[in-house]
Structure 1
Amino acid sequence: MSQVNLLPPEILASQRQRRLAGVVALAGVGVIGLIFVFYVLQLGNLSAVRSDIDQQEQTNAGLQREIERLREFEELRARAQAKQELLDAVFANEISFSGLLMDVSRVIPSTAALTAMSAASQEPTASVGGDTTFNGRIDVAGLALDYDTVASWLTRLERVRGWVNPWVNSIADPESGPITYTSGVDLTGAVVTERGRRSGGVTDAG
């Protein structure tokens, strides 16, 4: 059985408009609610992002401080290394000349005397055969009572550790007075001091 609405058309239209307005209003409220919820969520996300940024900035600041501290240590290490390299250059292949004088005083024959002596160090130079490294030399001028004294002097020179290849440059035997001579001896790495050995890397025991 069909229903018949006896209300005037104007009233029916007004009712439909009110229902439509209510639906639209309800939908608008829903949309506004969704926008509000989205806004609240975004605020939460933004707060979390800001917190992460602050934490990362603190971490970066800590890393920067650590970098500065390490850089300071690196500069100190570089300065110390530069000073050590300077000392190594100064003391490399160092020879104790006081030690050379003591050795000369021990080996000179009692029938001889020195009138001049010089000692010089040099950059390590390999011998012709390459089995010995020369680090310096000693040159002397002296007096001897006889030729045996000169021969004894040469023999004694070679007995000193690190002294090799003794030689006589010249010898003169005047009619009166002692024999005059000049001679020398090469010095190997064995005469280099311990400090000079560490600085110059000398390995030749001589």
Structure 2
Amino acid sequence: MRTINLIPQESKRQGESRKRMVGLVAAGLIYLLILGVITVWRQGSVDDAEAEALRQQQVNQQLQADVNALAGAEDLSREFDAAVATLGLALTNDVSWGRLLNDLGRLIPDRVWVTSYSGSINRPDFTAETPSTEIGSLAFAGIAFAPPDVAAWLRVLDSDQFPAVVGTWATGLTESAIGEVETVNFGSTTNLTPEALSGRLLERIPVIP
């Protein structure tokens, strides 16, 4: 059966135009919505970047303030290093003579006594690759009853009981007498080791945390 369209052609065209218009309006609204979302997202990114830049600027300002505050500390550190260097020159190879002779006095053999002594300190060599094991020397003049007593003296000074010296030897043994008692005069020289150091250098340098 043949279908007969009773709607006028003009009305049909108007309906189709309205549909197209509605479609265009809907598409425009969707476009505007998408554009708004993109704009808001970009604005948020810009705000985040500006906030990060502000935070970094504040960090930089704080770091600069810290650097300025440390300027005085650097000067103080240089003064401290200079004072330590001066103290080091004064007390390097500083020997505790009182302790050294007191320890020696407890070890001298009964048949030996010291009549005089003299000591000297070597100038430190700061260019040496390894520190010297001998920091100075010590010379004695003494009296013993017999040569074996001088040998006992040498054994005592070169023993582990007295590590402050090493390489002791005797020279110039001559016979003598005290009244009717025969004696032997002798000279003796030994080398000082780092065990003879006073340790005052480390005691006078404060520990800075």
* TM-score bracket for this pair, using the shorter chain length: 0.5 to 0.7
Correspondence 1:111 to 2:111: yes
Determine the structure 2 residue equivalent to 1:133.
Answer: 133
Q: Which amino acid aligns with 1:151?
A: A
CA contact (8 A) 2:173 2:187 kept: yes
Residues 87-145 of structure 1 show CA distances to partners (whole Å, capped at 9, x for unaligned) of 122222221101111122012111122111112221358xxxx9972111110001111
CA distance in 2, matches of 1:85, 1:181: 42
Residues 47-67 of structure 1 show CA distances to partners (whole Å, capped at 9, x for unaligned) of xxxxxxxxx9xx999887655
CA distance in 1, matches of 2:155, 2:90: 34
Relative to the length of structure 2, the TM-score reads 0.56
Q: CA deviation at 1:180?
A: 0.7
Q: Which amino acid aligns with 1:172?
A: T
Secondary structure of 1:134's match? Answer: coil
Pick from 154, 166, 169 the counterpart of residue 168 of structure 2: 166
Relative to the length of structure 1, the TM-score reads 0.57
CA distance in 2, matches of 1:197, 1:169: 37
Percent identity of equivalent pairs: 26
Alignment of 1:21-40 (within 5 A): none
Q: Which amino acid aligns with 1:121?
A: I
Secondary structure of 2:94's match? Answer: coil
Determine the structure 1 residue equivalent to 2:189.
Answer: 184
Q: Which amino acid aligns with 2:184?
A: I
Correspondence 1:157 to 2:157: yes
Q: Which amino acid aligns with 2:186?
A: Y
Q: CA deviation at 1:189?
A: 1.9
Q: CA deviation at 1:174?
A: 3.3
CA distance in 2, matches of 1:86, 1:131: 19
Secondary structure of 1:185's match? Answer: strand
Residues 159-186 of structure 1 show CA distances to partners (whole Å, capped at 9, x for unaligned) of 1113211111211013764211111111
Secondary structure of 2:143's match? Answer: strand
CA distance in 2, matches of 1:138, 1:185: 5
CA distance in 2, matches of 1:117, 1:133: 22
Determine the structure 2 residue equivalent to 1:98.
Answer: 98
CA contact (8 A) 1:124 1:133 kept: no
How many residues align? The count is: 139
CA distance in 1, matches of 2:137, 2:164: 10
CA distance in 2, matches of 1:197, 1:72: 26
Q: CA deviation at 1:187?
A: 1.4
Q: Structure 2: any 5+ residue segments left out of the alignment?
A: 1-56, 205-209
RMSD of aligned C-alpha atoms? 3.2
CA contact (8 A) 2:100 2:164 kept: no
Q: CA deviation at 1:191?
A: 2.1
Residues 39-81 of structure 1 show CA distances to partners (whole Å, capped at 9, x for unaligned) of xxxxxxxxxxxxxxxxx9xx99988765543221111111111
CA distance in 2, matches of 1:196, 1:104: 23
- Could you say if the C-alpha distance between residues 97 and 109 of structure 1 is closer, same or farther in structure 2, counting changes exceeding 3 Å? same
Secondary structure of 2:176's match? Answer: coil
